[in-house]
Amino acid sequence: MAGSLNKVQLIGRLGADPEVKQMVNGKSVARLSLATSQSWKDRNSGEKKEKTEWHRIVVFNEGLVNVVQQYLKKGAQVYIEGQLSTRKWKDEQTGQDKYSTEIILQGYNSTLTMLGGSNSNNTLSSSPIKNNDFDQSNPQNNSDLDDEIPF
């Protein structure tokens, strides 16, 4: 459908260490549990309230999976851009249809940026990591890695 957009942008903290698994085709996939929160003051009681939403993030890009596995831990703050996707499957025990909505990071329209985590001296917080930055099938990206580093 022309003129449509499927894009999700979130800033939150990881609720657990990333889970990395091998798929049947030999490639890796990372799953993240991301919490976003909003807080407000209740008008009637004056009490501070907070609501947390949990989001399932799935990363398919091999290079980005390696970065996630190496640098992200529970509590890390991240900014992500991805696409919303809902999967349907049958529960083997009950036979009922089950649904899972996830934010998928795959392809050129996905971004993961590590923000300052619980450690304020986090040196990895300055630049975004895009899926296509690690696309090894793109020869232009590979040639960038061959440049001499001046230090």
Token duo for residue 134 = 């690690």
- Sign, CA torsion 78/81/86/87: negative
pLDDT of residue 1: 63
pLDDT of residue 123: 32
Higher pLDDT, 147 or 87: 87
Task: Answer whether 67's CB lies under 8 Å from 130's CB.
Answer: no
3-class DSSP state of 65: helix
- Per-residue pLDDT tens for 112-140? 999 974 543 333 333 444 444 444 333 33
User: What radius of gyration, in Å, describes the C-alpha atoms of the chain?
Assistant: 18
pLDDT of residue 64: 83
Token duo for residue 135 = 């696309």
3-class DSSP state of 143: helix
pLDDT of residue 140: 39
Q: DSSP class of residue 132?
A: G
- Per-residue pLDDT tens for 1-10? 678 999 999 9
- Per-residue pLDDT tens for 20-76? 999 999 899 999 999 999 999 999 999 999 999 999 999 998 878 888 999 999 999
- Per-residue pLDDT tens for 70-104? 999 999 999 999 999 999 989 999 999 999 999 99
CATH architecture of 8-144: Beta Barrel (2.40)
% helix, strand, coil for the chain, step of 5: 15, 45, 40
